[in-house]
Structures are given as C-alpha cells and as structure tokens.
Homo-oligomer: A and B are copies of this chain.
Amino acid sequence: MECKPVLYTYYRSSSAARVAIALNYKGIDYEQIPVNLLKNEQLAETYVSKNPSALVPLLVIDGCELSQSVAILEYLEETRPDAPLLPKDPAQRAHVRAIVGAICCDIQPLQNLRVLRTLPEDQRPEHARSVIARGLSVVEAMLEKTAGQFCVGDEVTFADCCLIPQLINAHRYGVDMAHFPHINAIESKTSKLEPFQRAHWTKQPDCPAELSNLTF
C-alpha cells in the first residue's frame, strides 16, 4: 500500500507554502503535520533526526525524507511530470530557476524568522520590509523579460510557486507594491487558481482562528 506523502509545515512558512502549491497543482494528496516554529518544535530531536537543518518544509514521500523546498519541487517534477511546473525549453527552465533563486536565495533567507530573531524586536519589520522590497524590485526586472500570464510565459511554474508565498510577507511587512506591475498582475491571476488558494496561510490547519479571516 502506498503511503500518503506527509508535509511537515508551518502556516507562516513561505518555504513550506511553495511545496504545498506544487503538491496541489499536481493533484498529489498529502497529509500535513504542523511544526510550530514559535514554540521551537523544529529543534526537537525527533524532527532534527529527519531534517538536520531544523527548518520546514520536510516532505516524506516514496519512503524518502526530503528537505529544502527547491529540491522538493525538482523531485516532484521529476517523479510526477503531469501538470508540469517547468517549461520544456532549457533556456526557459533556466529563467524559471533564476527567478526561484532570486526569491529563495536572495530574499527569503534574509527575512525569515531565524534571522529576524537575531534583531531587536523594533527593527524587525523595517529590516524585513527593506529586504523584500529590494528583492522584489529585482524580480520585477526579471519578469520584464520573461513574464506572460505568469512569471515565465503563460503557464504556472516553480517561479510562481515561490513568488506568491513571498508576497504574503511583502504585504505583512507593508512593502509598497506600486512599482511592481508584473508581480501584481501575476498575484491577481494566481489568486483565482485553486492550488494557490488552498495553500494560502490562512487556510492551513495550524493557522490560529483569530487570523484566518485576514485576506492577505
């Protein structure tokens, strides 16, 4: 009997949301196990033994424990090629992955909970806002060359799976989105798609009830 994949996740994690969108998009049924980062559950020995990085997401699938969201996206694409999230053309694939890198290497790591916790509390929002604003301006310039209906061309790709959760944090920290017309258009289009709707942070099982009515 095939076991259902298990996604270790946290409702506020943009990295976990990338994987949730991809799983939804490919129609892969999965269970979620919340890991409360605020309570440091990611540091529990049982979790670290599965995922030495002590981060979410972790996906248990096909008998493997897979960490790092981008590695998981690539695995899903290689093993579940239906509903593809990469174009066929190598140069287009490289553009997708460049946008992924601009988000997952150059924005998210500089504003995640682990980094913010090293700063005085009153400096955290401004730090996050400025990192995200600068990073999104790079992404917007990349989209100028690659965007169609979505980040690269007219199909959803890894790039959209990574961009949309990052925008949640942009809104949370009050980034001025007026200069990002391509990003805004893509956000609007993806917001109508069920795989993105279902991965929204307010729809996660561990989202506190008092936050679940927020719309960004």
Contacts and interface: CB of A to CB of B under 8 A. Distances in A.
A169 to B, nearest CB: 15
Could you say how many copies of this chain the assembly holds? Answer: 2
A74 interface: yes
Contact of A71 (B69, B72, B78, B94): B94
B68 A105 contact: yes
A21 to B, nearest CB: 17
Question: Which 5 A-B pairs give the minimum distances between C-beta atoms?
Answer: A68-B101, A52-B141, A71-B97, A68-B98, A75-B94
A90 interface: yes
Interface of A: 52-55, 62, 64, 66-72, 74-75, 78-79, 90-91, 93-98, 100-102, 104-106, 108-110, 115, 138, 141-142
A94 B52 contact: no
Given A75-B90, A75-B91, A91-B62, A109 B105 contact: yes
Task: Give the secondary structure class of A's interface.
Answer: helix
Contacts of A141: 52
A155 to B, nearest CB: 18
Contacts of A67: 98, 101-102, 142
B64 A91 contact: yes
Given A53-B106, A91-B64, A74 B101 contact: no
30 contacts: A52-B138, A52-B141, A55-B106, A64-B91, A64-B94, A66-B94, A66-B98, A67-B98, A67-B102, A68-B100, A68-B102, A69-B101, A70-B97, A70-B101, A71-B96, A71-B97, A71-B100, A71-B101, A74-B94, A74-B97, A75-B90, A75-B93, A75-B97, A78-B90, A78-B93, A101-B104, A104-B105, A105-B105, A110-B110, A110-B115
